[in-house]
Chain A
Amino acid sequence: AQSVTQLDSHVSVSEGTPVLLRCNYSSSYSPSLFWYVQHPNKGLQLLLKYTSAATLVKGINGFEAEFKKSETSFHLTKPSAHMSDAAEYFCVVSPSGGNTPLVFGKGTRLSVIA
Chain B
Amino acid sequence: DAGVIQSPRHEVTEMGQEVTLRCKPISGHNSLFWYRQTMMRGLELLIYFNNNVPIDDSGMPEDRFSAKMPNASFSTLKIQPSEPRDSAVYFCASSLVIRGYDQPQHFGDGTRLSIL
Interface residues of A (CB under 8 A from B): 32, 34, 36, 41-46, 49, 51, 90, 94-95, 97-102, 104, 106-107
Contacts and interface: CB of A to CB of B under 8 A. Distances in A.
Contacts of B33: 101
A98 to B, nearest CB: 2
B42 A98 contact: no
Contacts of B109: 41-43
B101 A99 contact: yes
Interface of B: 4, 33, 42-43, 45, 48, 56, 91, 93, 97, 99-110, 112
15 contacts: A34-B104, A42-B110, A43-B4, A43-B91, A43-B93, A44-B91, A44-B105, A44-B107, A95-B102, A97-B102, A98-B97, A98-B99, A100-B56, A101-B33, A101-B105
Given A101-B45, A106-B42, A46 B102 contact: no
A98 B101 contact: yes
A-B pairs with the 9 shortest C-beta distances? A98-B100, A43-B107, A98-B102, A94-B102, A32-B102, A98-B101, A44-B107, A101-B101, A43-B109
A49 B101 contact: no
A46 B101 contact: no
Question: Which of A41, A43, A104, A106 has the most CB atoms of chain B within a 10 A radius of its CB?
Answer: A43
Contacts of A106: 42
